[in-house]
């Protein structure tokens, strides 16, 4: 029996941090290891072109991201990992979707509005139309579901709308659609259940590299670096009074510690006001360092052997192209360019 397809991607914009891991990458690994899905994961290098990065930096970041995805547990024998630009069908379908997507719908996208502020010196057309390319990334593979965070729901809803518009403009009555005239199915969202991880220094905001490295713990950080960052983490606003910072540290301990008794003891201490923040930070530091030990080792092995990474990505592109090209053959016929 054919497994339903799951698809998701990440931009190569820097080393992954624990917020990226709990919010997306761990979910990918869990979906892969469930054995229920045919998983496709990609590095969204074309989307990264909307930002300010040199060619050399982009090549480096693609390799780094591939190494970190693999080191975190994505297995090329179980999943297909590829680079977006290595499958040309993405941009071809993206242009076709540009031509069925109303400008008004693109203008409503909150991420375009946000990035227009954060990178006001580089507001390019790609930033505006990227949701159509994102829809192509997804619909090329006709996935049943897409793993997303709550901040990506709007993007997936637009993808569903684009699928509807395409189906209405270019109906098909092939047997595979049961006479419904719908070529693209509308993928469902698979929401991550992990609460959003907050910045170490500004625990009311989400963890983000854009604020500075002191705000995040990267998956590749060595134990001494993790310890140093956590020592500076914000805890309580007043003596003995809990805060978002404490809740954030407890959340990290809950997810990364193998000692549930320790976590429960700190939760209890927070409630009765006896919590010692130094002890909590030390426990979180030890838990994260231990949890990512094998990740750091595997990442180093991969980065010492770029050929292994390249071979995996080439194979992934071939496998992804087989699916994407089949979709595009049918799309070209439907729209009348074949």
Residue 180 a catalytic site member: no
> Does 13 belong to an annotated binding site?
yes
> Does 206 belong to an annotated binding site?
yes
> Does 177 belong to an annotated binding site?
no
> Does 137 belong to an annotated binding site?
yes
Residue 115 a catalytic site member: yes
Residue of 26, 142, 209, 211 marked catalytic: 209
In whole angstroms, give the CA distance from residue 303 to residue 305: 5
> Does 259 belong to an annotated binding site?
no
In whole angstroms, give the CA distance from residue 305 to residue 293: 19
In whole angstroms, give the CA distance from residue 176 to residue 180: 9
The answer to whether residues 175 and 52 touch, using CB atoms and an 8 Å cutoff, is no
> Does 19 belong to an annotated binding site?
yes
CB-count burial class (<10 Å; 0-12, 13-18, 19+) for 308: middle
Residue 229 a catalytic site member: no
Residue of 165, 188, 206, 211 marked catalytic: 206
Q: What would the two tokens of residue 49 be?
A: 């072109």
Q: Torsion angle, CA of 205/247/242/238, rounded to 10 degrees?
A: -40
The closest of 136, 124, 31, 127 to 89, measured between CA atoms, is 136
In whole angstroms, give the CA distance from residue 134 to residue 327: 16
> Does 197 belong to an annotated binding site?
yes
CB neighbours of residue 293 within 10 Å: 11
> Does 11 belong to an annotated binding site?
yes
> DSSP assignment, residue 197?
P
In whole angstroms, give the CA distance from residue 283 to residue 294: 19
Q: Torsion angle, CA of 125/130/131/137, rounded to 10 degrees?
A: 150
Residue of 115, 198, 229, 281 marked catalytic: 115
In whole angstroms, give the CA distance from residue 256 to residue 266: 14
CB-count burial class (<10 Å; 0-12, 13-18, 19+) for 169: exposed
The answer to whether residues 190 and 31 touch, using CB atoms and an 8 Å cutoff, is yes
CB neighbours of residue 179 within 10 Å: 10
Name the binding residues for L-tryptophan.
137
Give binding residues as ranges. Answer: 11-13, 19-20, 137, 149-151, 197, 206-210
Supply the residues annotated as catalytic.
115, 206, 209
> Residues within the annotated binding site for ATP?
11-13, 19-20, 149-151, 197, 206-210
């Amino acid at each position: 029996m054919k497994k339903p397809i799951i698809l998701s991607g990440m931009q190569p914009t820097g080393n992954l941090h624990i917020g990226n891991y709990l919010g997306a990458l761990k979910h990918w690994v869990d979906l892969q290891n469930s054995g229920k899905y045919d998983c496709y994961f990609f590095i969204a290098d074309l989307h990264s072109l909307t930002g300010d990065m040199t060619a050399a930096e982009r090549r480096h970041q693609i390799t780094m991201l591939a190494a970190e995805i693999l080191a975190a547990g994505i297995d090329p024998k179980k999943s297909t990992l590829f680079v977006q630009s290595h499958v040309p069908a993405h941009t071809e379908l993206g242009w076709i979707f540009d031509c069925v997507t109303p400008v008004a719908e693109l203008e409503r996208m909150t991420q375009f509005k946000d990035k227009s502020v954060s990178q006001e010196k580089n507001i390019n057309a790609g930033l505006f139309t990227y949701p159509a390319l994102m829809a192509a990334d997804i619909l090329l593979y006709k996935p049943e579901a897409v793993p997303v965070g709550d901040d990506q729901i709007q993007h997936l809803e637009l993808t569903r709308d684009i699928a509807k518009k395409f189906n209405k403009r270019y109906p098909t009555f092939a047997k595979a659609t049961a006479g419904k005239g719908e070529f693209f199915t509308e993928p469902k969202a698979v929401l991550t259940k992990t609460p959003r991880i907050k910045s170490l220094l500004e625990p009311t905001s989400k963890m983000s590299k854009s604020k500075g490295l002191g705000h995040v713990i990267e998956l590749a950080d060595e134990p001494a670096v993790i310890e140093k960052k956590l020592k500076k983490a914000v805890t309580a606003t007043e003596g003995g009074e809990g805060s978002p910072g404490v809740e954030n540290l407890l959340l990290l301990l809950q997810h990364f510690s193998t000692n549930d008794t320790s976590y429960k003891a700190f939760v209890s201490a927070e409630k009765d006001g006896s919590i010692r923040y130094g002890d909590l930070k030390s426990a979180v530091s030890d838990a994260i360092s231990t949890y990512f030990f094998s990740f750091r080792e595997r990442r180093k092995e991969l980065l010492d052997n770029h050929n292994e990474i390249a071979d995996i990505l080439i194979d992934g592109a071939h496998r992804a192209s087989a699916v994407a090209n089949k979709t595009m053959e049918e799309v070209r016929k439907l729209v009348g360019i074949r």
